[in-house]
Amino acid sequence: MGLERWKTVELPIVHDSRGNLTFIESNRHVPFDIKRVYYLYDIPGGAQRGGHAHKTLQQMLIAMSGSFDVILDDGFVRQTLSLNRGYCGIYLEKLIWRELVNFSSGAVCMVLASDFYDESDYYREYDEFIKAVRGTPEALGNKALHE
């Protein structure tokens, strides 16, 4: 992919007939201290999670089981990526709107984050996010929004 602000990452994998092992170390496989790990599970097939962006937080998303799609948007370009392997992650810089959609039954989404939970770090409204990354909509003139 041509964008710098998010990227797919192939993580290390140790193959073994008893199962595979993937590891992620702070500041080695992610460019931050892993302060927080969270995961979504018991997700109904086909569900989706409401979008948001972070003011400063960096994250790595991984499909630990099953599959789901990640819609990414930096305010100018929108891209959808699929995750369905334990050794593939998506690294996200700050200021990226993300939506998680199309969960398979039994999917588990793990997220490694660069900081503790802080509600004030969230953009919960897309308009508010766009304003932060593009300035006021009026100032943009005719510049099209990823269309």
Q: Which residues form the catalytic set? A: 52
Question: Looking at 72, 92, 112, 130, which residue binds a copy of itself (CB under 8 A)?
Answer: 112
Distance in Å, CB of 10 to a copy of itself, minimum: 15
Kindly state the smallest distance separating residue 76's Cβ from a copy of itself, in Å: 28
Look at residues 51, 77, 61, 45 and name the one whose alpha carbon lies nearest to residue 7. Answer: 61
Q: Which residues have C-beta within 8 Å of that of residue 27, sequence separation ≥ 6?
A: 33
As a whole number of angstroms, the distance between CA 81 and CA 38 comes to: 20
Q: Does 9 bind a copy of itself (CB under 8 A)?
A: no
Options 19, 127, 142, 143; binder of a copy of itself; rule CB under 8 A: 19
Instruction: Give the closest residue to 94 by CA, choosing from 145, 50, 31, 26.
Output: 31
**Could you say whether residue 124 binds a copy of itself (CB under 8 A)?**
no
Does 47 participate in binding a copy of itself (rule CB under 8 A)?
yes
